[in-house]
Structure 1
């Protein structure tokens, strides 16, 4: 028996796939795996088959055509082809988490591409998939261009490849958020994205903070937040939480955390710094990094909800040297820092109930 890969287009109607599989079965061909790629012209079925040794490529092609399959592509396969596609994709994803620079090699392995070329120019509106070429947007900047003589690319393969590239870009952004800061007095702190594994350290951080510090962070009585609430803050559905540890080792105690929670075009930032680490520039450093993340994510503005008595945090905001707007509601202040002038104007217009200004094409402008 010999392993073959067969790809053919079949009408996406009930019963047509069974006609093709029956035609293969009549020749003793055993179908090991099948993937269905939905396209505009029909379903592209990708088979890994085990065929009798005496069958040739021409024999298999004839069987596919008798089974109403079109645009047939056939090639010999190796034993490694027995690994199913989800397993292969997960393996490549694991590799990218360890080495995001291997994105090109991962794409080649995923799609069997003849060439993979990275270019510094963005994919732009021309990004997408053609019969023999594919253009992928690189979230870190630039684009990947892939080519393959056969079989033709499918939209499903494009979606898998783009997801893999986005994973590599996310890993790069995560690593970019890992920094070592040297504060006045030569103290070193390590800042990195939080994970749920930081829950014990963050709990100890809250226990070590004074009631006043906790009240200023949560605008409520200075009690301890529940572990369930802190777990949600450590890995927000939309946004980012950074933790700062006293030293460069991850096992060092957590001395501060900064959270960015996103909702629509705007994000909300909040900080908690252990009392003995306050007034050393740590809060300012965390806030700057949160603002940078919000800007890269395309938010129009970042707001902070503060007690009017929280003068240290107000000084931290002023030290950023950014334009701000302040709204007061009793003892509560909402400080807003615009990130992009055009996006902020659109956000303000929506808040005021005004129509968005049309763009050059006459359509309503979109915010990102």
Structure 2
């Protein structure tokens, strides 16, 4: 058995995944594991494949599929680079790393896999959570096992210098409280946004239970404007319709790609359907009519949510949109999403400004539409100190030192 972990960026159109599986079958391979990730490149499929004999012909075909066809695909297939991986430890001393950089920033990446990596990821994560309940100070070791990292250690969030010499994408910083974090290193493949969300969820599993992220309460914008935000329901239908009537055609066009002075009953139902997502309404703290709506909707891409905003004309430019996106991002992280996206018209400068302000990446226009993408892991802080946070606050606590301390056994120094 020759196991390989293969990652490839899959273009979001029908038949792409089937083509990859067909290619594996033609080369006598067997897919024994599949995971779908969200990342800066888009949707990334990760397979664990049992490949008999030489795996390189399969990698060349997958590289060609990752290209855009024709000469670019052939060029991608020719850029196969095989490098020794002896530096990654005895278990991989005789292994090869195969990296194929394809055209148009697409990539196929293959690294050796071990039989222990084949299994149900959800079961493994639940077992790690149970283990951490008994030994929360072993968090770095659990994160290392969860993400199959090469190394994990406590670090200070206030220390700007990198602790590992590798490229930034080979490390992942997982916040644990306001000052401390676990830094993970993995040399053979970059961490994805989905893996960041998984790490964030494992950290939260050992913090005290706080319930779901609130969807009702006071919000203050960066301009000092006070709002009250709540989850909109069917009883808010009339107020939502009045909000749309007060908005200019240009404002509703930015939101819906067409002027819409009134919503249909079907659209109102979608906005208030918890199976599709949620809609937040915002009004002035002193009371009154809603002045903005913020939507967070599920998508068919695993771990990805879609957000959209509607802000009344007279309330634009005072930080309402930015504040609502931050609230939606915290809720998305609480749902376990890895990223949120916003699709907008290329001419929608206010929404682009909001998304840039919260740190989103703006993709180039395509067909007059711009997409903003924002990773959301790490946006839900602990609201009460618990056992793990108490450990981190003690003198000599795990992670309170620097340098060689990799993790967390308080008795190790005794």
TM-score bracket for this pair, using the shorter chain length = 0.3 to 0.5
